[in-house]
Structure formats: C-alpha cells, structure tokens
Structure 1
Amino acid sequence: MDFSECYGDTVSSVAAAARSGCRKAVRRLMKRGFCVDGRDNRGWNALHEAAAAGSRGCVLEIVSAAGGAYVNSLTHEGESACYLAAQRGHLAVVRLLLRAHADINQLTNDLSCPLYAAVDAGHREVVELLVGKGAEVDRTHTASCWTCLHQAVHKGHEDIVRILVDVCNLEALDDHKISPLFVAAQYGQRECLEILVNAGANVSSQAADLATPLLIASQEGHRACVDFLLDHGADPDLACSHEWPQLPIHAAAEFGHIGVLRRLIAVTHRACDRGDGAVSPLYLAVHGRQSHSVEMLLREGYSPDAQDCSHVLGVRSPLSLALSTSTDTYREPVGLLVAAGARLSEEDWMYALATDKTDLLQLILEHRLIPRPETLTRDGSVPKHHGETFLKLQELRELLCVALNQVHFAARWLPVLLKAGLDPSLLLQPHMLEQADGEVLNYLLEFVNWSNLSPPLKCILDRRRAEKTWEPGPHLGSIPRLSHVCRLQVRSVLGPDLLMRTSVVQQLPVPAPLHAFLQFRDIPEASYTHSPPSSPLSNRMQRYRRTHQHRHVL
C-alpha cells in the first residue's frame, strides 16, 4: 500500500479543514460532532494535517478540544504531528506540541525522529528548540546508524553543525565506524570539516576498513579538504586497508585527481615507491586508466618498474598490469611506462607477441628501439642516442625467446620486428625454420643471403621441401641477385635499425626509386591465415610459463 499518496475520498472533513488552515471551520466541525481522529489512507488525522500545514491555530483548536489525546498518534509510517511540523520547519507548531507533551524523541518506522528530520531539512531554529528541550542528540537513525551530526555534515548545514558540536559526540560512529568528520571529508564539506576539527574531532579516525578522512577526500578529489586535513595533522602515510598498505596517494592516483596527487606526492614517504611490502601508486594509476596520474608520478621520479606486487595484486610490474588489459584506454599508460624505461619481461613480450594483433608490439617499439649487437655495453645496456631509449640485452634476449615460442603468430610480429630494425639473422634458428608457416619462412629469407645459410639450416629447408611443408619463393632456390646482395651490404654498413626506421636512406646518393628497395619494402608480407588458439591469452601464458624453452640466440 502506498502511504505517501493521499486519496481525497478518504480525508475526513475536519482533516480537510485543518489542511487548509481554516481555524474557524475546524472549530465549527468539531462542535457539530465530526470525528477528530478520522484517518485517511495514509493514517493521517486532523492533527497531522494541521501540523504539516503549519497552522498553529488549527493545532491549538484540536489539542484543546481533545485534551492532548491525539498529540502522539502516528501515521502508518510512524510519523507524529511533532515530526511532521519539525520536518517542515514550523517552529511555532513544534513549540505548541511540545507544551502539549508531544514525545520529542518518537521514532518513525524508518528510525527518524523530529530532531533528525529538522536537521535533514536544515531548519536551524527548530533544531535549536528541540536541542534546548532535551532531544536525544546522539541516538542513531536510519539503516546506516547515522546520528544527527552525521546528517547535518552530509547536508552541509554549517549553522546546525555549529549547534550540534557543542552537545553531540564528535566521534560517534555509524555501522561502518565512520565518524562525522569522515563524512565531511567524503562529501567535500570544507566548512563543516573546519568546525569539527576546531571542536576537537580526530582528523585521523579510521573506519572499519581502516579508511581515513584523508583517504576518502583524496579518492573523491576534494582538494580543499585534503589541504585542510594535511595542514591539521592528518598522516598521509597511515595505512588505510587491511589487505595492503593503501595510502591516500593511491586513491588520488587511481581516480586521476591531479591537484590532490601533486599535494600528496610532496608529503608522502617515498617508501611506497619501491619498498618491500608496499605498492607503488603507479599500479593504481594504471589500474584506473589515469594517464595523467602515470605521467605525473613518472615525472616526479617514481620508478616505472616499481616493486614486484605478484603477492599482493597478482602482477609483476605496472607495465605488466597495463599490458594484461588489452583495451585502447591502456595504450597511453603503456607508452608512458615504456618510454620511461620500464623493464620488459618475457611475460610482457607474451602480451605483445602471442596475439593476432600488433598494436601493443608497435607501441612498445615506438618508444624502445631495437639495438645493434655491437652497440651493447658489458652490462647489456645501450647508451641513449639523441634522447632515444633502446632495449637492453636481456630484454632483447627475452623478446627473441618469446618470439621463437610463438611462431604460430609470426605472420603478425615478424614484419613489425624486421621493419623496426631487428637483425633477421637472430631469427635464423632451427626452431623457426622447422615450425614457421611457408609464407613466413619465405618472408624471413628475403631479408638474408639465403645462399650462405649454415649446413644444418639448409638441411631443415631441404627436408621441409621434400615433405612439401614448404615451397620456396620463385627465386629463393637460386643464387641471390647482385642487387639483393648490394642492399644486404648497405643494410650491414648502415645497421638495420637506422636503415629501417629512419630517413637515412633518403640521404644516400642513389636514385629515389631505389629507396623502397633498399628498405625491403618490395617484399610482400605473409598473409595471416591461422586461427588463433581458442584458449584465452591468460591460459596460453600459463602454458608458456610451464613449457617454454630459453633459446640462447645472442
């Protein structure tokens, strides 16, 4: 039954007169014997109508005639006349009903009361009256067990908060152990926050899940509240979670609140960056797909590799987290991390190579260049050249290891790698020649002098040809043409990285029509005809971890 909508044919005559505020009509009807306590479909009688309408005269007539018999009668929703008057801010009616011994603390069916209703609606004078008359100020209301102070703060009724802080328990907790100050921080009520702090409320109180006011203000992006809390002693390094040491900086990073994040970077201890047992805020920035947060943290010196969080978050690095979620919104964080020098592991290469898409691989190689072996230093690193960042020796090894274990996808990744400057001889491995599709194999051989292959590799090709699992290209069975040998020599002198990815070929003293030839662009790519494995990438990665072989190719 709907107790909120009033059906006109159920309202008594006295109640209708009281609703209109006609004191004379109410008096006349009562003298003629009309029922005062007649109820409509909501359970409302004439006193409820008069109180809700704010008609002090009608209330006085009914209370005087009935001798207070109906002053505490309730509607079907448990609302008293005092509650209805307080809810609507009718100060004179509330005062009259209290003199008639109305129950000041009467609860409704949903656990509200006259004071809570007045607080919720922002009726300051009614609140002052009820508090002065002894209303219970710390009783919990609603299903969340909020007190009147919680509700006043939530609504931002500053004048009422000033009244209540003098009489209420400042540390009253709801069913999640959330204090009024926490509510102020959560909803960005900066003025209420100041009133509470000045009254002595604890700025570092923690909820049941250990969340603090500073954490929730950072999560919601309330910069003014964050600044106020920090200026008044809130601890930015206080752990705010039972599961892992979550800090306010994590919340700001995850939700992309750049102003808040900038302030927290300045005051948060850097142990969260790479410390054991900690979690870098970069993880949360990547998880929240907040490229601006990622960019700011990297610019402020946070490590792109962070710490291994496999035991906490199930991922090894921020880059692994970004790569493992193959959506367009993660492309920018991937680019930022790779450009900042994040180390690429075998698992990361798996995400880029074990797929029929090349977008991630291309993105990585845009920011991390493939080096020539002779440029590698003893520690496997490559000196930066004109600001360019190269793959380290170990990263290159792991790239090749994964590539040789993902030959089924070679039609996709092989052109990308060779055009990025990978030396094709690094892929001339027995496994590649044995497992590659015929078109893929022909494409690879076009980048080398196939007449100079080692005897073991020639044996593999002869066997595949005999078994009819490979048909060589039209000219691969003959001696390479002089033009092909020449471009191989040009590639060797310049280096495949410079030749394939820069404009150096445009500067050579050769006719322009030869530029495409020198960059091997006359070779058609292999068509991708294989259906990808039916199992998800995550399953393929698990299988790879169990069965892959390290192929030492460098």
Structure 2
Amino acid sequence: MAAASVSTVSTGPTLGFDDYSLYSGLTESELIELAIERSLAESNAQGSDAQAGASKHPAAQMRQNRAIRRAPPPQQQHVPPPANPPREDTPVKIENIEAHFVTGSGKRMVRYRRYDGSLQVAPEPIEEADPLLRAIWDGDVGTVRVLAKHNSKSLTASYRDGWIALHEAAYYGQLDCLKVLLRAQPGMLNKRSQKDQTPLFLAVSKNHVACVEHMLELGAEPDIASRDRETPLFKACERENAANVALLLNGGAHVNKTCTQGWTPLHEAVCRNNVEICEMLLKAGAKIGIANIYGITPLFVAAQSGRVDALRFLIKNGADVNSQANDGATALYEASKNGHEEIVELLLSQNADANKATKSGLLPLHIAAQRGNEGIVSMLIPKTSRARIRRSGISPLHLAAERNKDEVLELLIEAGFDVNAMLSYDHSKMYEDRRSTALYFAVINNNIDAATMLLEAGANPNLDTFSPLLVAVRQGCIRTVTLLVEHGANINAYIPTHPTSFPATVMFCMKYLPLLKYLMDNGCDALSCFQCVYGSNPHPPIKTTRNRDERFESDRPPSTPVQFCEMISTEHISRWAGPIIDVLLDYVGNVQLCARLIEHLDSYKDWAVIKEKAEPPRPLMQLCRMKICSIIGAGRPRRLERLPLPERLIKYLKHEERCRDNDF
C-alpha cells in the first residue's frame, strides 16, 4: 500500500519491480518523505537537469534531496508592509466595566461583562485625552500640581462611573496627589460617583490608611453609604482593617448604621471572626443583639459560620444564646445544621435550649440527624425532650432513615427512640404515598442495613397505608422482601385506594416468578386469583393507557375490584400469563379458569399443558399438600422444617418436588 501511494504522487516514469524491491526496506514515514521529495524535485526540474534527476536511482535521489534541504535557503525577497499597519497600542473600547483593580505587580486591570453575560478581565484602557489621570496613576505630584493650577476644570471632570480625579487618587492610594487635589478643590471631599462612592469609601475599600486619615482630618463625612448601602465603616470591617475602623470610629462614624438587609458592621466583623474589631465596635456603642431584616443577630452569624472566638466574645458580653430568627431557628439549630461541633458544645455549656423549635416544628436534634452528624446528635440526645419530639410530629429516626444516615440511625435506636413512631398527618401528606414510619423510608431507599436495624429493634412492618412489603416487591429486591416476611409483614397486603380481588403483592411481582413463588411458599393467597366474578361469561373489554406506570380502564362497575384476569391482560404482562398461571396452580386445589384466562392459555400452543393442569380433578397428593399447608398457616417454610417428617415429604410440601430424588 505504501509503494502504491508513492507511485500516485510521483509524476516520473513508472516504477518497475526492482524499484519496489528497493523500497521494501524503508519505513512508512520514509516512503512518504521520498514521495514528497520526488514530487517537489520533478516539478521544479527543467531541461537536462530534469532528465538527469529522472534517470537517477530513487535512493540516490532521496539522499540528494536531503542534502538540498540541509543547504541554507536562498534569501527571500523583501515584501513591504501595508501602507497603514494597525497600531498595537490602539486603545480598545471596553464597555460595562464593573470593577477596577491593581495586580500584585502594579498593573491596572478592569473586570467587565460581555454582551453574553460572561465576566472578563483586561488591562485598563488608556485615557489618552487626559494626562491628569496618567499623572495620578504614576504618582507624578509635580504634574498634578501644574495641571491643578493651570486647568482647574480637569479636577472636576467626570471619568469612568462618574469618578473625578480625587476618586482616582483615593482609590490608588496616591496621598501626595490627594493632598494637592484637595487643596485645589476642597469642596470635592465628599463627591459621590455614579455608584454613590465617596473618595473616603474608595480609600477604605483599598486599605489606604494614610488617605483615610487625611480625609477624615479634613472633615470627610464617614457615614455616606454607597448605592449598595455599604458605609466606609462596614467596608473597613469587611477588609478587616482595624486601623481604618479606629480612624472611622474616632471620626464620628455611626457604629449601628445598617446596610443591605439590615447587616451592621458588627455582623460583618463577627462573620470574619475578628475579635479585635468586634471589641472596638462594642466600645463604640455597637448593639450586641441587633438583628437584620431576617431576625439574625451577630451571635446567630457566629454560630452559623462556625466562628468560635467571636461567639465566645459575644457570649462573654451578654449575647442571648436562645435568640430566634424570624423562622424560629436558634443559634444552636444553625450550628447543628452546619455541623459545627465545637459551637454546639459551647452553646450547650452556656445553657442553650435544645427544645426551641423552628416554625416548621423541627428541633436541633432533627436537623442534626438529617445531616448525619453523629457527634452533634450524641450531644443533643440527652438535652432533648422526648415529649417535645412527639409534639413535633416527626421523629429524628424518620430524617435519618430518609437520608440514609445509618450511623445516626443506629445511635438513635440505641438511645431508645421509638422505631414505630408515626409521622403526623401534616408531615405524612407531604408524600404522595402517605408514608408514616422510618421503616418505610429505609425500604423505599432500598437500604437493607437500615431496614434490618429497625426490624430487629421491633419495627412493625404493617403500619403504613402502603405496605413496605409492596414497595420491596415492586423493586424486586428479594433480600428486603425476605427480611420483611421473616419479621411478620402481611404477605397478603392490599392497597386501600386501589382495591383488587387478589393480594397486591401478586400484582407487583408478576414479572419476577422466583419472587412470586417465594410469596406463595409463605402463604400468599393464590386461590383469590382464580375467583373471577365473571367466570366463564364474557368479560368487559379493557382499554389500556400508557404513562409512568401501566394502568388500565375497564367497563366493569366502579364497585367491582380489579380482577386478576384483568391485571394479567395488560400489554406488558400478558406475555407472561402462562408461566404465572402455572406457578399459581401449584398452590391451589380444584379451580375453574375464567374465560379470559383460558383465552390467554389458548393463545400459545406450548401453554396447552398448563390448561390441562388446571382441569379437575387435581391429584390427591396436591390436595393433601394444600390441606397440610393451610393447617400450618403463616410462616410455612420455617414450621415445615420443624415437623418430624421425611426430608422428601418436606420438599414436596415446600413445592420442591422437581428437585427430589428419582426414587420418590
């Protein structure tokens, strides 16, 4: 294939057998290289040079071309540049600028938003028309002094976001330039930008202490808030600059002035866990219990964000550990919610009430169990009233089981919480299936470990409206089904809201024949599947409708429950009708198949033997087996094993005769 590719590229004479034999020792990359070289050489050769090149041996030609490549290339002809080349320093217009900042290397950058909403960062555009800004950025005090003296209008000219030269000097911390500008225009000291930012606010936001001090000495107003309702004092707390905080407080800043959503400087200092600033604010008159619009106090902020040092400081200075937010949550609740064990321990040591509920009725123990924090749960258990939990209408067991927090579930069970606690009506109606028990949550999550713990602790599997056994059967989980049956689950469970003439357990396991057989072995009512109200008479037609679960509609009277023959006639189950009927016939005596079941068995010739199996009379051994099993009752397999009967007879009673010895 490689040789063929060479011949197609080359325009020289056709290669003979000898030429191909020479190429046999070359790699594929060398063949491709040779083809390219020959093509280039032959296209550029002229006259006798071309003939000489064509007569050369291919391998020699290849070596010659390599030598040509190693030779220095001829000097290329100079191409003149375009008449008007674009300048690299041409300023690019950037719109929608949101912020200006300086990198660690001193480079000025801007953050802006593109038309598609994405944020971008780029060097700050050069203001070519105004040398004053360039002088301020460079700290060129002499130039600023000259421009301020001879062009006073430039001092009040508005630039980006409504900034004037004084804003620029304050933002970049150019103290000497700032002094020159204020001497020239002292009335601009409290000038606001388009975002209501004063020079003082900008200097505080960039931690320029000297600029802040100078402007305050000149009488700068310390309480002018930006458009976001942030004061310079709030910004200083956010930046954790204690020096600026002290300057602003000494300059008369209002310590309790609120910003967006009622947040105060103390809230911000506590959020930053800065005890030094918190102490300065309190000495200046900050209210320790002031709340924002959501009822959140500084102590609540400390507990919510895990700020231990700030929390100790607030408690030491008289903060109420049991204050509640607008939704009823306490600091203890928030600490439990966010997993701050040290905070929970501190609050409990200061007599925080573990029985204060939110407006939704949840206690700190509830939220700790839901989040799965064992340490916090173990601390809250002895502090929480069981009566208060019962009044809440939901147990921590429910929340732990719902979120698969097995370690917490085990801890609560060992602490003696009621494994059969039921959800209140208000909580239960939040679920479409009206679940009530912690066991139901474990089963629907297919959490076998949690279900085992609850059942071994005494959980009743028959308390929910929709039986957990039906959930397990529907999921096809034989381990969960076995677990529930062994602990007394009703094998003949029905659905109250969807009445059927046969157990709903049969309805959910028609596609799982081993599971169906297991249910029948343990006493499921197979006889009801053959007690059709229509018998050998014509059945009403069935109209199937598809959605998430297959349902059907029939012309039968509304009071008549769904019949087994109707359920087995649905589109996705009818193909299994024969095997299903075959399994059920092993657990009944003499029965009469209704017209629809016969119709199903007649639809497939291999099912004729099943139809014959149902014809009376049934074998005596089958009738005896059914009689013995009916006497034994529930728990049939375990009871059969305790009977003093031969092993082969036990196998027959357990419907394992197909596995018995041949001499039976």
TM-score range normalised by the length of the shorter chain: 0.7 to 0.9
Tell me the equivalent position of 2:583.
443
What is the SS of the residue equivalent to 2:127? helix
Structure 1 residues 466 and 190: alpha-carbon distance in aligned structure 2, compared to 1, 3 A threshold = closer
Instruction: Establish whether residue 49 from structure 1 lines up as the match of residue 168 from structure 2.
Output: yes
Q: Quick check: 1:272–1:281 contact (8 Å CA) kept in 2?
A: no
**Aligned counterparts, 1:416-427, within 5 A:** 416=515, 418-419=517-518, 422-424=521-523, 426-427=525-526
Deviation of 1:108 after TM superposition, in Å, equals 0.7
The letter for the 2-side match of 1:249 is L
Q: Deviations over 1:64-94 (max 9, x none)?
A: 222x121111222111111111112211111
1:159-209 residue CA offsets vs partner (Å, 9 max, x unmatched): 212222332101111111110110111111111111111111110111111
Q: What percentage of residue pairs aligned between the two structures are identical?
A: 25
Please tell me the root mean square deviation across aligned C-alpha atoms, in Å.
3.9
Q: Does structure 1 conserve the Cα–Cα contact (< 8 Å) formed by 2:522 and 2:637?
A: no
Match in the other structure for 1:299: 414
What number of residue pairs does the alignment pair up? 482
Q: Does 1:61 align with 2:180?
A: yes
Deviations 1:455-483 (A, max 9, x none): xxx4xx16559975667444443766688
Which residue does 2:462 correspond to in 1?
345
Sort the Cα spacing of 1:239 and 1:358 in 2 relative to 1 into closer, same or farther, 3 A: closer
What is the distance in 2 between the residues matched to 1:351 and 1:94? 69
- Would the alpha carbon gap of residues 334 and 433 (structure 1) be closer, same or farther in structure 2, given more than 3 Å must change? farther
Pair 236,466 (structure 1): closer, same or farther in 2 beyond 3 Å = closer
Q: Which of 332, 336, 346 is the aligned partner of 1:228?
A: 346
Matches within 5 A, 1:192-341: 192-241=310-359, 243=360, 245-273=361-389, 275-276=390-391, 278-314=393-429, 315=434, 317-319=436-438, 322=441, 333-341=450-458
Matches of residues 101-112 of structure 1 in structure 2 within 5 Å? 101-112=219-230
Structure 2 residues without counterparts, runs of 5 or longer = 1-95, 100-109, 111-123, 534-562, 566-576, 602-607, 660-664
Largest Rg, 1 or 2:
2
Name the counterpart of 2:121: none
Which residue in the other structure is 1:38 paired with? 157
Counterpart contact for 2:161–2:193, Cα < 8 Å? yes
Q: For 2:647 and 2:428, locate their aligned partners in 1 and report how far apart those are by CA, in whole Å.
A: 56
User: CA 1:502–1:47 in 2, change beyond 3 Å: closer, same or farther?
Assistant: farther
Match of 1:520 in 2: 656
Which structure carries more relative contact order (alpha carbon 8 Å, separation 6+)? 1
> 2:638, 2:595 → 1: CA distance?
30
TM superposition shift of 1:25:
2.9
Which segments of 5 or more consecutive residues in structure 1 lack a partner in the other structure?
371-389, 524-554
Cα distance change of structure 1 residues 354 and 135 upon mapping to structure 2, 3 Å threshold: closer
Match for 1:159 among 276, 281, 298? 276
The amino acid across from 1:83 in the alignment is F
Give distance in 2, aligned partners of 1:71 and 1:465.
Answer: 95
Aligned to 1:391: 488
Instruction: Please state how far the C-alpha of 1:277 moved relative to its aligned partner.
Output: 5.2
Q: Does 1:139 align with 2:279?
A: no
1:366-403 Cα distance to aligned partner (Å, 9 max, x none): 32334xxxxxxxxxxxxxxxxxxx217xx456469988
Q: After superposition, what is the alpha-carbon deviation per residue over 1:428-479, rounded to whole angstroms, capped at 9, x for unaligned?
A: 237656633453333112135x3xx4xxxx4xx1655997566744444376
Q: Write the distance in 2 (CA, Å) between the matches of 1:11 and 1:508.
A: 109
TM-score scaled to structure 2, two decimals? Answer: 0.64
